[in-house]
Amino acid sequence: MKLSIIIPVYNEEKTILQILEKVKKANISVAHEIIIVDDGSTDTTREKLKKIKGARVIFHKKNQGKGAAVKTGIKNAKGDYILIQDADLEYDPNQIKDLLKPILENKAKVVYGTRLDRAPHLKKEEAKHLFIIHYFGNRFLSLVTSVLYGQWLTDMETCYKLFPKKAISSIKLNAKGFEFEPEVTSKLLKQGYKIKEVSITANPRGYDEGKKINTFRDGAKALWSLIKYRLTD
């Protein structure tokens, strides 16, 4: 088994070298490659990426969106399995081994890392209104996914998605932005794959620190994607 770790990047000059180093140092027990797709960054991210070693870097000439960057990574991946890793520091690469465990034990083909199989952290980050809205927005979208596709999920929007490359080789992925998450989930479920969720922790950053997803705008797109792909491919 070989794993392709895809890191989509857009204007992450403060964190890209740190997350790359964390991925390199993570205890990943299978052969793996790291593919970084810079989605037209306009800060110093591209200059930093031109100097790195130990990863394959692909540059988009202009910004197209997270989904487009992930699709480029998948197209160039040589691994049997694909894992998405965000370029910020929200997700700890040391948890990749936890996602791999059900695959290696032949207990699952698709594994998601769930941050939301819990109550809101009202004394921590979700004490802030934007984060509590984000929490309930994600839970709502996961509930809609569960109802429409017949499998219980708690965190459809998670970045940590691990799936076989062959599972999407025949799938046409249309999303260019954050709606990649509901689209790939919808199409994996429609193909008959069962998604196993593994508990993970995350350290969400604030919008003042560079968080890019918009709860209302991107949430509405995600909802429409879930409904649309239930009815069509």
pLDDT: is 216 or 227 the higher one?
Answer: 227
Strand intervals (E) in the chain: 2-9, 31-39, 56-60, 81-84, 110-114, 161-164, 195-199
**Confidence at residue 70, expressed as pLDDT on a 0 to 100 scale:** 96
pLDDT tier for residue 209 given thresholds of 50, 70 and 90 = low
What is the model's pTM? Answer: 0.91
Query: Domains in the chain, start-ordered, CATH in brackets?
Result: 2-231 (3.90.550.10)
Q: Taking the CA atoms of the chain, what radius of gyration do you get in angstroms?
A: 17
Q: What is the pLDDT of residues 36-78, one digit of tens each?
A: 999 999 999 999 999 999 999 999 999 999 999 999 999 999 9
Average pLDDT in the chain: 92
**Confidence at residue 205, expressed as pLDDT on a 0 to 100 scale:** 59
